[in-house]
């Protein structure tokens, strides 16, 4: 199918049977993670729900069981900013599940004030990239055993705000900007999927990165009037660079999706047979991304599709988290 910005999870999963499939999803206590869990479980999938807050995650699962009596849902805690927590969570999953069919790296943070994790990493890069990288690498043996399997990494159109700054990725020396930090981490997500797919496609694993669109979820809890103004200014700047003349209304480019529409592309990426042969692709609005197009819709910047940058980031991340891919 070729979707649109309003295509929903139930629409992309119409006629899909996921009985017997084990799907692991991060960030399931609310928002897109909870909706993806609901939609995929409604098609028979067994879902491992991962979130930092165990109580909220359990409440999310309980609410979903009311909607889907008999749904196979298990909850586990993970703090993606803590490498020991990620390792412990992965160890528990592998102890109970020999194979995994799909991993959706959905959790994330956006526009946080500057902070570093207990491991010393800038929070956006740690939460959005490093923790998911480590989780994926640790679960890779089970994903290979589940082949043909898929990994879906949540990126964002915000990747257009920043390529990887390999000279100072943690903002150790340059001035901190929450949008640059978020944008860099979303570029990292896209490059991660590109390189993961290259490394494991011969083992039956396919990886994608996804722009879900703009959705009102808890991801935006750190947004302020100042950071919203910064985003609008950047939208206007990009429009000028693209040759737009006359008055520009940045708010016109800020069209919000429903949660069901926001989660649709990641559910499509996880299941759609028509995506076979498109491994490593960037997806948006249930479509293949267009290099150089409008990042607010289905466009993707060349810097998020750069295979050399993907290899460089992979090697650096292995050093940061102290873990190599071993399958």
Res 201 pLDDT > 70: yes
Distance CA 33, CA 51 (A): 9
Bridge-based pairing of strands 102-105 and 149-154 is: parallel
Domain interval for residue 94: 9-321
Judge contact between 186 and 159, C-beta under 8 A: yes
By DSSP bridging, strand 102-105 and strand 22-26 are parallel
Please state the domain count of the chain. Answer: 1
The backbone torsions φ and ψ at residue 205, rounded to the nearest 5 degrees and listed phi first, read -100, 135
What separation in angstroms does the CA of 270 have from each of 40, 176, 239?
A: 9, 35, 33
What would the mean pLDDT of 56-70 be, rounded to a whole number? 98
Q: How far is CA 290 from CA 61, 189, 234, 294, in A?
A: 36, 17, 20, 8
Q: In this structure, is residue 326 part of a structural domain?
A: no
Which H/E stretch holds residue 300?
strand 299-300
CATH value at residue 18 = 3.40.50.720
Crossing angle (nearest 10°) for helices 31-41 and 54-67? 40
In a domain, 3, yes or no: no
CB atoms within 10 A of CB 43: 18
What pLDDT is stored for residue 239 in this prediction? Answer: 47
Q: Lowest-confidence range among 34-43, 192-201, 251-260, 303-312?
A: 251-260
Whether residue 327 lies inside any domain: the answer is: no
C-alpha gyration radius of the chain: 18
* Domain-located, residue 137: yes
Q: Is the pLDDT of residue 316 over 70?
A: yes
- Residue 197 in domain: yes
Task: Please write the tens of the pLDDT for every residue from 69-124.
Answer: 999 999 999 999 999 999 999 999 999 999 999 999 999 999 999 999 999 999 99
Please give the positions annotated as active site.
182
Is residue 1 included in any domain, yes or no?
no
What predicted TM-score, i.e. pTM, was given to this entire model?
0.91
Q: Which are the contacts of 35, defined by CB distance < 8 A and separation ≥ 6?
A: 9, 259, 260, 262, 263
Query: Would residue 25 count as lying in a domain?
Result: yes
225-273 tens-digit pLDDT:
555 555 555 555 554 555 546 555 555 555 789 999 999 999 999 999 9
């Amino acid at each position: 199918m070729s979707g649109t910005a309003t295509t929903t999870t139930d629409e992309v999963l119409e006629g899909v049977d996921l009985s017997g499939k084990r799907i692991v999803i991060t960030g399931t206590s609310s928002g897109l993670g909870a909706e993806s869990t609901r939609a995929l479980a409604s098609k028979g999938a067994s879902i491992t729900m991962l979130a930092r807050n165990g109580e909220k995650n359990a409440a999310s699962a309980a609410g979903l069981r009311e909607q889907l009596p008999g749904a196979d849902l298990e909850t586990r805690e993970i703090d993606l900013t803590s490498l020991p927590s990620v390792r412990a969570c992965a160890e528990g999953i592998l102890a109970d599940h020999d194979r995994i069919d799909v991993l959706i790296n959905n959790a994330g943070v956006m526009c946080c004030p500057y902070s570093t994790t207990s491991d010393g990493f800038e929070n956006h890069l740690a939460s959005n990239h490093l923790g998911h990288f480590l989780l994926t690498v640790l679960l890779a043996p089970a994903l290979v055993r589940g082949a043909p399997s898929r990994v879906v990494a949540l990126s964002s159109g915000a990747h257009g705000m920043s390529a990887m700054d390999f000279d100072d990725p943690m903002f150790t020396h340059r001035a901190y900007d929450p949008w640059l930090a978020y944008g860099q981490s979303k570029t990292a997500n896209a490059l991660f999927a590109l390189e993961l797919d290259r490394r494991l496609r011969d083992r039956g694993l396919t990886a994608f990165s996804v722009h879900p669109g703009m959705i009102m979820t808890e991801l935006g809890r750190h947004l302020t009037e100042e950071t919203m103004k910064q985003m609008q200014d950047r939208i206007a700047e990009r429009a000028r660079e693209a040759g737009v003349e006359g008055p520009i209304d940045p708010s016109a480019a800020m069209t919000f999706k429903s949660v069901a529409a926001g989660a649709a592309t990641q559910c499509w990426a996880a299941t759609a047979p028509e995506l076979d042969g498109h491994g490593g692709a960037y997806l948006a609005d249930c479509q293949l991304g267009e290099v150089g197009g409008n990042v607010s819709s289905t466009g993707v910047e060349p810097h998020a599709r750069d295979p050399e940058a993907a290899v460089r980031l992979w090697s650096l991340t292995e050093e940061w988290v102290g873990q190599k891919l071993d399958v």
